[in-house]
Amino acid sequence: MFHRKIYFLSLFTIFTFFNSNWNATEIHDYLQKGEEYYRARDYKNSVIQFRSALTMNPSSKKALLGYAKSSSIIGEKKDALDSYLRILSLDSKNRDALIGISFYYISQEKFDEALKNVNLVLENDPYDPDALVVLSQIYLKIGKKEFALKKLEEAKRKTAQNKDFLFMLANAYTETGKFHSSEDLLSNLIKENPDYPEAYFGMAELKTRLASLENYENRTMLIEEAYLNSKNALSIDKFYPDARRLFARVCIYLHKYDEAKDTLESLLEDFRNDYNIRYLYVYTLEKIGKPEKIPNEFKKILTTNELDDIARFYSEEYSIQHLKEGSELRSVLGEYRMERDRFDKRNFIFIDPNYNLMRAKYLIPQKNSVRSEILNYYLSKGLSKEFLNALIKIRNDDQNNFKIQNRLESAIKKQKESLSYLEGFIDLHPGGLRLNFEKSSPEIFLFDIFPEEFLDYKPNAAILINNSLKFYLTQKPIIKVITGKEEKAIREKLVSKSIPFPYTGGVYFFRELTGVLDEVRKNSNPIRYVGHGSYSLNKETLSVKYRVYDIETGKNITEFKLTASGRGYLGDITTRLAQKIISVLPVSGKTIKVKSNSVIVNFGGHDGITKNQKIVFERNGIVLGEGSVEKLDGLISEIVPSFKNWQNVLSIGDTVYPKK
């Protein structure tokens, strides 16, 4: 019995020994293949090998580190973090894990966490070159650029430098504006390490930075150099994420949209939840005419980040222009706006919460809930013309709707009692109410809002922000925004005479080009005011510096800065921008009828005029006299002049404006 036990025990020991050695051999093979794939920059396959090693030994620090580094490069940040944390649970001072997790925290903008971890490495070796690379990157990100450069230059004199250290030093030179030092260092890196992709990428970044400072001719040349350098980087490492991101944007600048599309598709395979990359992808698809994918890509962007208000407005503009009202995307976008409209009104979120309602009106105009809210909006604002015309349209679409018919009859009766109707300045037709006179609301031309960041991830944001502002202001009777065919003709003339901006396609303000605005009108009734400014966008925070320029005086009549954050930031900043613009444009009008006891002028309650308000009459810059408002409705006012012999002085076409 004893010998039998010894026999079985020996067999078990032998089996365990060989099984253990076999496992160790297999793990070694996985690790070796993983490292080979990593060196070959085939990170997807290196992840597979390191993962296989971990299934056999979950505590292998070598496998955990390889898996973390590979996962990080292909965008699997959560897997990378988990692996680094696992290593540190086994070895709290593991240098490579501390450096790796610091890079992870930098990518998440958790700079305090990154600093805490990298300092643990520097406590052991104050001149560890890899840790100093991390440290300088933290300081560059938080704006302490000169300090980052100082630390690197100090370390350069005291420690051996590797390629990554020198690359980061070149990057610090670029960030601090020492461009010649950066170019010399990068050129030397390329010469000594022709298979080092980071050096080519650093050169591409440098050329891009220089391009942002140069005039158009030099800018295009520098962008072409950035294109070649980033392409060289990708020829060595086709998975290099930062090089692919830059290359895609450079291709868009150069209108190489097919190359941009291919690069962005490869990025989306690795970073499928990166809404910035997907935004660029949608933009590129639109440029090359691939509409079949665009609606679904918009849905993916807004699913990943529903707070991206620029992307939402972009998807709405695209839907209104290209998709039928009943399409899924338009319906979803319209319902979202209605939901936000209800929420904003309950919580008094914006100066004017009706921004969302008006967006819904264009997205899903036939929806009963939208029509009902639009009618309530027109009624509450006293917009009798718009209210009546909306009722007529609904009645024409549903002639059996007796409730609407009754409201329409009541509205027509009320309209016939208005000053505009009684004085013969509006007519009621089967198609709606029409004005028999021209309004003299102050006019403004809006230039696109210039991006402060060069080659940002939303190339058309400058145009979209401006379009949002134009959209909102056109809903306001108090102001006239140059839109439609006239705006298109003006923009085309400006493009032909201005510096081109190939990346954004925007039309921006240059003082010397303001004379172009009146060429379309052949200098009759010149445009006096223009709006222009710049913006910065950081995630869901939009800041706009804005000016209203008076062409006649050659001066800005107002300058201000606004910032909005979080959900609905574009609508928020649009409504506040509009209020600022409206508040500085002077209200003025014309006499349109001279009666025996009064005159009729073409501004009213919608223009901010009130009963008994003092009004000044003027002709060719000469003040003729004053009067006061006797009656008014939303469109016109009846003024009783208070100066002698006014019946023989005033005539149709005289200028009128409120007395200050």
Q: Are 197 and 233 in contact (CB under 8 A)?
A: yes
- Mean pLDDT across the chain, nearest whole number? 90
Considering 129-138, 455-464, 513-522, the range whose residues carry the highest mean pLDDT is: 455-464
Return the CATH number of 53-265, one of 2.40.240.10, 3.30.428.10, 1.10.3330.10, 1.25.40.10: 1.25.40.10
Q: Model confidence over 491-507: pLDDT tens digits?
A: 999 999 888 899 999 99
Q: Model confidence over 197-255: pLDDT tens digits?
A: 999 999 999 999 999 998 777 899 999 999 999 999 999 999 899 999 999 999 999 99
CATH topology of 53-265 equal to that of 304-435? yes
In the structure, what pLDDT confidence band is assigned to residue 5 with cuts at 50, 70 and 90? very low
For tokens 């303000």, name the residue. Answer: 509
Q: Model confidence over 559-603: pLDDT tens digits?
A: 999 999 999 999 999 999 999 999 999 999 999 999 999 999 999
Question: Is 9's pLDDT higher than 60?
Answer: no
Q: Are 73 and 43 in contact (CB under 8 A)?
A: yes
- Please give the CATH number for the structural domain made up of 443-584: 3.40.50.10610
In angstroms, the CA 502 to CA 321 distance is 23
Q: In the chain, pLDDT over 70 holds for what percent of residues?
A: 95
Q: Model confidence over 72-103: pLDDT tens digits?
A: 888 888 899 999 999 999 999 999 999 999 99
Predicted pLDDT at 19: 47
Q: What CATH architecture applies to the domain 304-435?
A: Alpha Horseshoe (1.25)
Predicted pLDDT at 432: 81
Predicted pLDDT at 8: 44
What is the average per-residue pLDDT within 28-47?
Answer: 88
Question: Is 1's pLDDT higher than 70?
Answer: no
CA distances from 433 to 392, 401, 419, 428, 430 (A): 9, 20, 14, 5, 8
Predicted pLDDT at 348: 65
In the structure, what pLDDT confidence band is assigned to residue 469 with cuts at 50, 70 and 90? very high
Among 498, 441, 491, which Cα is nearest to 466's? 491
Within a 10 A sphere around the Cβ of 430, how many other Cβ atoms?
6
Among 612, 605, 600, which Cα is nearest to 656's? 600
* E strand intervals along 477-566: 480-481, 529-538, 541-550, 555-565
* E strand intervals along 511-554: 529-538, 541-550
Return the H-helix or E-strand segment holding 426. Answer: strand 426-429
Within a 10 A sphere around the Cβ of 16, how many other Cβ atoms?
10
Sketch the domain layout of the chain as residue ranges.
53-265, 304-435, 443-584, 589-658
Q: What superfamily would CATH give domain 589-658?
A: FlgT, C-terminal domain (2.40.10.410)
Q: Are 657 and 586 in contact (CB under 8 A)?
A: yes
Range name among 91-100, 287-296, 340-349 with the lowest pLDDT average: 340-349
What is the average per-residue pLDDT within 614-628?
Answer: 95
Q: In the chain, pLDDT over 90 holds for what percent of residues?
A: 67
What is the average per-residue pLDDT within 281-299?
Answer: 95
Q: Model confidence over 100-133: pLDDT tens digits?
A: 999 999 988 899 999 999 999 999 988 888 888 8
Q: What is the DSSP string of 570-614?
A: HHHHHHHHHHHHHHHSPP-EEEEEE-SS-EEES--GGGT--TT-E
Stated pTM of the model: 0.88
Range name among 47-56, 178-187, 300-309, 562-571 with the lowest pLDDT average: 47-56
Predicted pLDDT at 477: 85
Residues 6 or more apart whose CB falls under 8 angstroms from that of 590 comprise 440, 601, 602, 652, 653, 654, 655, 656
